[in-house]
Structure 1
Amino acid sequence: MDPTELRDALEDAGLSQYQAEAYSTLLRLGTASATELADACAVPTARIYDVLRDLEAKGYIETYEQDSLHARACDPQTVLADLRGRASMLEEAADEIEERWEAPEVNRHMLSIVKRFDTVFQRAKSLIRDAESEVQLSVTPAQYEELVPALREAHDDDVIVKVSLHTDPEFDRSTLEAENFAGVVTEARHRTLPTPFVLLVDRTGTCFAPHAHSLNQYGVLVDDYTLTYVFHWYFQTCLWEVWDVLYSEHGGDPPFAFADIRRCVRTVEPHLAAGETVRATVTGFETANGASVELDGEITDVYYSSAAEVDGEPALSQLAGQVSLTLRTADGRYSVGGWGAVLEDVEATRVTITDVSA
C-alpha cells in the first residue's frame, strides 16, 4: 500500500485529512518535533499542535517535552485493534445489506416483493422441505429437476405433491417419462404455455415470479392464509384443471388422498350415486375453536350449490361456491368443508378415501 492509499484508509477509519497526514508521516520518521513534523508533511505549522493533541487523544501518538514539543507513534496494537474492528464491522454490514436485499425475512411480513428470482427459488426450496400437508408447484422441467431433492423429501413425509410442468409448445413431451416423477410427486400435469413460477405450501406460503419472457422481473413472497387462497384458485383454474395428466401415483383402488375437497367430492359423488359405501379418514381442525381433529367414518352425502344442475361429474366452475361432505362416525355426523370453511364443523386439510365397496 503506498502512502496515499494509507492516508485514504486512515481517513476512512475516522481520521481527518491532517490527522492522517501527520500520523502516516510520524510512522515514517519514528519521532520528531512538532516543527520537524510540520516541515515533513502537508500539515500547516499553525495547525500541527492541534492535530497532535487530537491524535494523542485518540491513542495514536504520544507527545513529550524535549526543549520543544515532540511526538512519537504509540504501540500500534490499540490502533490495529480499532482498524480491524472497523473492518470487521464494515464486512458484517456488507453481509447484512446483501442478505436484506436478496432475502427479506418473510416470516415478519405478510407479503414481500423481491428483485431476484434466486431469492424466490431458494425460499421455495425451504418451504417445500418444511411442508406438512400439500405442495402445489408450477415450474419448467429444468426448475423441476433442481427441486427434485426437496420434493422427494416432502413426498417421503407423506405430503401431497402436485406439479404442473410448463414448456414451449414445441417441447418433446416424450422426454417426460414416469420415472421422472415416481417417488417425487403425487400427480404431474403438462401445460404447453409459458407460465409464472408458482409454489403454494400448506395453504399459507406462496412463492411467485413472472415467466422468463415477462418484461417485469420480480418476485412475490407471501406468508398469509387468505392471499395464498387467491393463488390457489389461479393454480387450479389456469395451471392444473384443463391440462393433460403426465403422471399419477393413484391406482384404481383406494386409498386416495385429497388436500382439495372439491377434487374429493368429484371423485366420491359417482360412487355415492351408484349406491356404494365410501369410507374415509378426515384430518383438519374444528372451525369453532381451531382444535386439531382426525375422524374416521362413512361419507354419506356431498353438497355443492349447483348440484341439482349437474349431470355427471361437475366442472370445477360448478364447485366455486360452498362445497362440503357429510361424514358419519361412531360419535355422530360431521359436516366437512375445505380451505376457508366457515359453515361446516370441520375444515379438512386432508381427506383420505380408505375403502369403496358395493
Structure 2
Amino acid sequence: MGETDVFDRLGLTEYERTALTELLSLGRTTAPNLAEAAGIPKARVYGVLDSLCDRGFVKEIPGRPKHYQPHPPTEILDRAEENRRQEYESFVADLEDQRAAFLEEYGPRYERAGEDITAAEELFYVVDVGDPSERETRRIYREADERVRVLTKAFEYFETVEPAVADAVDRGIDLRALLRHPDALAAENRERQRAVVDRIRGSYPEFGIRFTRGALPWRGTIADPSDGYDDGEAILLVQEDEIPNHMRQAAITENGAFVAGLNRYFELVWTHESERGAGGSGE
C-alpha cells in the first residue's frame, strides 16, 4: 500500500490531506505559514487544523500566535486505528439500540411478503441470457468444490468462461462437457465447436469432452451434484430456437434434488449415448 492509499483510508478532505502532508514536511508552524505553503485559503486553514487536531493527527501549541505540530507518522496511524474502532463501537451500539424496534416493524412485513412466493420461485431464479448468465456460470465454476458438468451445443461461449475454467483446472476440479456431435450442427456452429474443442484439448487436457448425436433439450452447467440431494447448483436454459438470445432467460437452482436429477441425465447420456472421437481438427 502506498502513501496515497494510506491518506485515502484516513478519510481526510482534500484540504485536510494537503495540510497534513505539508505539516509532516514543515514540522511546527503557524496557521498563516501553513496556508501560504500549502495553498489553503486563510479563511479555511483554521477549520482544517481544528479538524486535524480533533482527530489526534496534529497538536495545537498555545501562544501568540498559536503553533501547530504534526504527531509522528506512527502515532497518526495508531490514532486513525483507534478513531475507527471507536466509530465502529458507536455504530454497533446505535444499531443494537434500534434492533428490537426494527425487527418488530419489518419482521412481520417480510414474513407476509414471503407468503406469496410460489414453489417454482423457491426452486429457481432467473437471469438474462448473455453477460448475466455468463457471469453466473463463471461463479459456478469458481465456487465448485469437486466437479462441474456442462451440456452445450458447440460451447460457443467458452472464451467468456475460460478464466474460470482455468482456475477450476488448477484446483483439480473434475470437468466434463457433453457437446452435440458435429454432424448435427450447421457449418458455422461446427467450425466454432471445432475451434473450442481444439482449444480445450490443447490447453486443458484434464477437461473431458464427449459428443452426442441425440438432441439436447436443455443446456447448462452443473456443479457438485450430491446423491444425498443436499448440495449442488446449476444454471440451465431450454432449447427455444424461435426466441432470440437477447429475449431469453436462464434458470439457476440450488435445489439439491433437482441438481441431482440434471446430473443423472448428464451421466446417462455421457455413458450410453456419447462418443469421444469427434469435433477437433485432429480427429
Q: RCO higher in 1 or 2 (8 Å CA, sep ≥ 6)?
A: 2
Higher Rg: 1
Say which structure is richer in helix. Answer: 2
TM range (shorter): 0.3 to 0.5
When the two structures are superposed, what TM-score results if normalisation uses the length of structure 1?
Answer: 0.38
